[in-house]
Structures are given as structure tokens and as C-alpha cells.
């Protein structure tokens, strides 16, 4: 996640056929005696709002996160950035809370609040001393039910959004390159090819009626997940949830309908030059299944594969590219829990004096050797150990639980995906990693991009 402003964080996000079915991974039974990671308690209100609670008594603090199952991937064609713009406007007051007052009241009590828009979800959150839970619940529920979107404040907030884009994207040649690469691979108007913050001309085209329509379509209680983590009693918490959120009017929900990837990358190779950089950047990406799309059983092996290929020191790409001086960085990335089709990404930055052709060939050789020889069992085991070690770190605070649970539930995944993800990773075999690698990286559905310094 890239912090874009005090109130906004944008998560910027590629073998499937175009008609690959949407299905979840097969049911998973954790090993006997395996404890859930967080032990979340789940229930629903009559209006459809789903609630998850993770109790933690380590400190007298409470976190409230309200997730909506809509992000940049739900932006209508021609109105990219509307999910993010709406997130900004949700801070402009509601029926009983004046514009800006929510953040002011939270700060007055020594807490903090924020919001973020990803491609898959939009979330609003507050963290306060535990006795102030009713305060933040009342304000968030009022915003959920009756946001105002005052037209006189739209122009000023539009300027904020456009300035955010100028600072984070337009003035950053690497961000512009990544944006162009995504658009080239998926298509400029594909939901995965549009920037979450939006194309500038389309941000400017958003009108008040568009914001209201997006809110009415996607911000129904039945399309939301409330996650509370921290120091609270379950029975008292349930009463507070019913008191504040039970009166939010129910509305019809709209199923997500995300387009599949194109039959092949729209632009197979992108080469961009910039006078603002001294070192180049290399990207190579493949369309990939996820837990919600395509061959879902490949998702967990692909997580292990990404770490094995580019998960820092000891990874295959680091050993072949960085330790030899061909590159100064080499990484791989993949998100199993994305909504709809995903991508598997390899990136690198060449070392000084390294020709682009040499780095590209060296990276391709690493991948080809893996495809031919299969995944090394010792490296698979090492990656699994390192990935699952992160489970312990996620228990060290109260912020990780609501983010992980809320994102998964709002993305349509069962809670077990979070509660037992270490077990799912530990269950991955070298044979599964090999099969997933051959299915995704072995398919001719990849795109390559280079950002290079301008030649003199």
C-alpha cells in the first residue's frame, strides 16, 4: 500500500482463458489442533451488514474498520477514479456530523482516523481509547447511512485529488511508467488497466450525480463489512453494533461483474525513455489466476513461487541478478486474494553498465530453468518458513487483523482464508509450485516493459 495523503492510501495493483470461470479454491481443512490466527467472531445484522470482532486486551485501545466491497475495479468506464474521489467526499459530513467533524472529534480524543481505496475495497477506520467506541460507531454509522456530498465542496476536493495525482504519479517517471505498463498490458479501459486514482481527464468529468449513483450502487450495508479489533466485551459490543448500525437502511446490492483479461496482452512490449532517471527499470508480468478467479488451486503455490523467485536475499532472482552485479534489485510479486484476474510480476533495476538485453535474458534464464527443472524442494521449504513467520508478526498489534479480515470478507472470500492462511501455505508442495509456474509463467501471455534513461 502506498500512502497518498492523510486520508487516502492507494493500492496499485496479470494462464487464463478469457472465459475462465470464477470459483473459489477447494475447501481446506486445517491440521487437527490448528488454532485460527485471530479467532474472529462473526455475525450479521438484518440489514445485511457483516460484523467481525477480534478481541485484544493488551492495551485499552479499539480499532473500527468499515470495508465496502467496491474499489477502483468498480469504476465505470469513462469515470476512472470515482471510488477514490468518493472516499474523499465521504469526509464532507453526514446528516448529524458536520464536514470535517469526524476527524476533529477523533483527534480530540487522542485517536486517529484515515481511509484507503484499493482496486478491490474501500475502507474507513478509526483508532481510539476503548471507552470512545460508541463515539466512532455513531459517526461512522451516520456516514454510512446519510453522507451529504455537499456540491460546494466538490471543486476544492477535486483539486486535492488532482494534486495528489500530480505529486504521486505525474511527477514520478517510474509511477507513470508502471501506470502505462498496466494500461498497455490490460487495456486502458480494462478495470485492471485503469489507475485507481483515475485518468486526469476522467477525474475532472466526475459530477455530483455520479458520486451519488456510485454510493447508492455499492455502499449498501449488505456490501459492507464492519471489523472491530481491541479491548471490548463481546456482548456489549454486539449491543453497540445493533444500536448504531442496525438502523442503517438496507438497500439492494449489485454483484461485481469484472471483465476477464484480454485474450493476450494488448501491448506485449513497452519501452519508455525519461530524462528524469539515471537507472532503468524492468517489468515482466503474466496474467494469473487468484483465489476468486480461474484455477484457484494455483493461488497459494503462486504465493510461494513469488517468494522463491524474488523474495529478497536467497531468492533465485537475487542470486542470479543481484549477487552477480547484473541488477541492483530483483523482485517478484503476486496477490492471491485479489478480486478477479490477477497478475504475476517480476521486476528488476539493472546495475550500472548492464545492457537491458543482458538483464532481460538473465531473468528469462532463471525462469526457464525453473520451468524445466521444477521447484527445488529445499527452496520451497525455505520460502514457506519465511512467509509463515509473518503470521506471528501480524499478531503484534491490532491493526493487521481488521485489515486482513476486512479485505478478505469484502472481497468475497471466507474467513478461513485469513484464519488459516499459514496452514494453507505450509500445505503447498514443490510439485504444486512447479505446476503453477508452468501454467502461468510458461504461457505466452506475458508483457515486458522497460523504463530507460534518455540517450544523449
* Fold match, 2-14+30-245 / 269-453: yes
- Residue 83 contacts by C-beta under 8 Å, 6 or more apart in sequence? 70, 71, 72, 74, 75, 117, 122, 196, 214, 218
- For residues 37, 297, 24 and 307, what is the CA-based torsion angle, rounded to 10 degrees? 50
Measured distance between the N- and C-terminal CA atoms of the chain, rounded to whole angstroms: 36
Residue boundaries of the structural domains of the chain = 2-14+30-245, 269-453
Average pLDDT, the chain: 92
Percent over 70 (pLDDT), the chain = 94
- In a 3-state reduction of DSSP, which class is residue 57? coil
Contact 137, 64 (CB under 8 A): yes
Q: Are strands 50-55 and 224-230 parallel, antiparallel or unpaired?
A: parallel
Q: How far is CA 372 from its chain centroid? A: 32
Q: Which CATH architecture has domain 2-14+30-245?
A: 2-Layer Sandwich (3.30)
Contact 78, 205 (CB under 8 A): yes
Tell me: pLDDT of 360 over 60. yes
Q: How far apart are CA 292 and CA 22, in angstroms?
A: 6
Per-residue pLDDT reduced to its tens digit, 388-418: 987 777 777 788 999 999 999 999 999 999 9
pTM, to two decimals? 0.92
C-alpha distances (whole Å) from 224 to each of 39, 47, 424, 446 are: 20, 10, 26, 35
Q: Are strands 269-274 and 2-3 parallel, antiparallel or unpaired?
A: unpaired
Tell me: pLDDT of 8 over 90. no
- For residues 128, 130, 135 and 137, what is the CA-based torsion angle, rounded to 10 degrees? 90
Size of the chain in residues: 456
Contact 323, 314 (CB under 8 A): no
Instruction: Mark out the alpha helices in 246-314 (DSSP H runs).
Output: 299-310
Beta bridge partners, 273, equal 452
> What string of H, E and C letters represents the secondary structure of 182-224?
HHHHHCCCCCCCCCCCCCHHHHHCCCHHHHHHHHHHHCCHHHE
Task: Say what the pLDDT of residue 396 is.
Answer: 74
- In a 3-state reduction of DSSP, which class is residue 300? helix
pLDDT band at 202 (very low <50, low <70, confident <90, very high): very high
Short-list 319, 240, 183, CA closest to 53: 240
CATH superfamily of 269-453: Metalloenzyme, LuxS/M16 peptidase-like (3.30.830.10)
What's the rounded mean pLDDT across residues 168-174?
97
Among 15-19, 47-51, 143-147, 201-205, the range scoring the smallest mean pLDDT is 15-19
Q: How far apart are CA 116 and CA 1, in angstroms?
A: 9
Amino acid at each position: 500500500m502506498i500512502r497518498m495523503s492523510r486520508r487516502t492510501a492507494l493500492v496499485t495493483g496479470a494462464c487464463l482463458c478469457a472465459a475462465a470461470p470464477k470459483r473459489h479454491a477447494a475447501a481446506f481443512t486445517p491440521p487437527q489442533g490448528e488454532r485460527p490466527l485471530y479467532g474472529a467472531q462473526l455475525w450479521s445484522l438484518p440489514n445485511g451488514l457483516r460484523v467481525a470482532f477480534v478481541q485484544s486486551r493488551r492495551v485499552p485501545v479499539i480499532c473500527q474498520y468499515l470495508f465496502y466491497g467496491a474499489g477502483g475495479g468498480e469504476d465505470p468506464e469513462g469515470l476512472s477514479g470515482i471510488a477514490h474521489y468518493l472516499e474523499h467526499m465521504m469526509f464532507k459530513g453526514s446528516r448529524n456530523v458536520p464536514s470535517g467533524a469526524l476527524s476533529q472529534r477523533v483527534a480530540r480524543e487522542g485517536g486517529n482516523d484515515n481511509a484507503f481505496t484499493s482496486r478491490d475495497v474501500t475502507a474507513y477506520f478509526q483508532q481510539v481509547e476503548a471507552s470512545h467506541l460508541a463515539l466512532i460507531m455513531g459517526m461512522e454509522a451516520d456516514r454510512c447511512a446519510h453522507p451529504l456530498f455537499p456540491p460546494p465542496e466538490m471543486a476544492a476536493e477535486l483539486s486535492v485529488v488532482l494534486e495528489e495525482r500530480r505529486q504521486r504519479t505525474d511527477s514520478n517517471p517510474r509511477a507513470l511508467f508502471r501506470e502505462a505498463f498496466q494500461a498497455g498490458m490490460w487495456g486502458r479501459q480494462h478495470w485492471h488497466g485503469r489507475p485507481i486514482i483515475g485518468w486526469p481527464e476522467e477525474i475532472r468529468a466526475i459530477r455530483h450525480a455520479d458520486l451519488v449513483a456510485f454510493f447508492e450502487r455499492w455502499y449498501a450495508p449488505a456490501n459492507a463489512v464492519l471489523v472491530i479489533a481491541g479491548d471490548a466485551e463481546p456482548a456489549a459490543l454486539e449491543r453497540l453494533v445493533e444500536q448504531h448500525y442496525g438502523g442503517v437502511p438496507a438497500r439492494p446490492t449489485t454483484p461485481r461483474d469484472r471483465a476477464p483479461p484480454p485474450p493476450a496482452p494488448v501491448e506485449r512490449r513497452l519501452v519508455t525513455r525519461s530524462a528524469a532517471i539515471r537507472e532503468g527499470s524492468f517489468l515482466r508480468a503474466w496474467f494469473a489466476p487468484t483465489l476468486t478467479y480461474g484455477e484457484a488451486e494455483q493461488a497459494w503455490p503462486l504465493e510461494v513461487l513469488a517468494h522463491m523467485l524474488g523474495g529478497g536475499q536467497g531468492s533465485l532472482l537475487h542470486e542470479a541478478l543481484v549477487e552477480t552485479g547484473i541488477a541492483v534489485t530483483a523482485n517478484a510479486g503476486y496477490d492471491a486474494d485479489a478480486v478477479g484476474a490477477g497478475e504475476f510480476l517480476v521486476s528488476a533495476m539493472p546495475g550500472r553498465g548492464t545492457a537491458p538485453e543482458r538483464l532481460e535474458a538473465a531473468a528469462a534464464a532463471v525462469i526457464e530453468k525453473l520451468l524445466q527443472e521444477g521447484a527445488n524442494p529445499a527452496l520451497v521449504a525455505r520460502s514457506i518458513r519465511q512467509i509463515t513467520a509473518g503470521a506471528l508478526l501480524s499478531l503484534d498489534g491490532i491493526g493487521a487483523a481488521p485489515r486482513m479480515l476486512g479485505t478478505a470478507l469484502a472481497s468475497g472470500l471466507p474467513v478461513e482464508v485469513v484464519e488459516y492462511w499459514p496452514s494453507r501455505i505450509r500445505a503447498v508442495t514443490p510439485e504444486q509450485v512447479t505446476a503453477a509456474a508452468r501454467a502461468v509463467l510458461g504461457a505466452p501471455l506475458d508483457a515486458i516493459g522497460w523504463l530507460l534513461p534518455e540517450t544523449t
